[in-house]
Structure 1
């Protein structure tokens, strides 16, 4: 956990996708199947490892549906929209329907959700 005075480390887009997939409790192949093979596991692996940094909006739309996340957020993180201001971020529906989440809080919630889902599978 970072100290209060340390700046938050911004995840790459690929690492954010990997975190969302892990929170959903899915493997790369499961995402491929859930997408109707629109997103191959090899392509998703390249995205998650930041070898591909700008997937098409179509791919982002598919992933948003699979991960139950905001399509607009994925588009913004992929660089299609300019980064929103903090005020705009707080105004939109936040992850888990909790307002005013900091990026660190959002990250912690997603990681905790992944932990809980993993515990439920064992």
Structure 2
């Protein structure tokens, strides 16, 4: 997944900083994604990156090991909004899935706190 993101970013002649800014993520996080240090970003992050990098949303979802609708891997433009729920591959261990759910919930709580701050 990271190689595909880097390839798309370089094809568009975007710096790491510029691509991260457009996707509303930190350059460090994008670097970690491209380098393989983060294996499973949230669907929301993938949706943003798909739009910035002109890569299919479902292609990125598939590369991140999410289950995608058949035939959607090569869609070039992201949907208007990412799906509310995304199913993970069934071969994931329950502990890994639980860790992912906890991580995503913490992300939501953090974002809600930021929204409440003046």
Runs of 4+ in 1 over 2 A off after TM superposition: none
Q: Could you report, residue by residue, the CA deviation over 1:57-104 in whole angstroms, capped at 9, with x for unpaired residues?
A: 0110000000112101110111012696xxx479x657xxxxxxxxxx
CA RMSD of superposed structures (Å):
2.5
Identify the match of residue 23 of structure 1 among 2, 6, 11: 11
RCO greater where, 1 or 2, for CA within 8 Å and sep 6 or more? Answer: 1
User: Which sections of structure 2, spanning at least 5 residues, go unmatched?
Assistant: 77-118
Measured at CA, do residues 82 and 69 of structure 1 come closer, stay the same or move farther in structure 2, by a change above 3 Å? closer
Residues of 2 paired with 1:33 and 1:89: CA distance? Answer: 27
1:44 to 2:30 alignment: yes
TM-score by length of 1: 0.55
The answer (yes or no) to whether the contact 2:16–2:27 under 8 Å persists in 1 is yes
Q: TM-score, normalised by structure 2?
A: 0.57
Deviation at 1:22, TM superposition (A): 0.6
Choose which of 39, 45, 62 in structure 2 pairs with 1:76: 62
Alignment size in residue pairs: 77
Q: Which position in structure 2 is the counterpart of 1:33?
A: 21
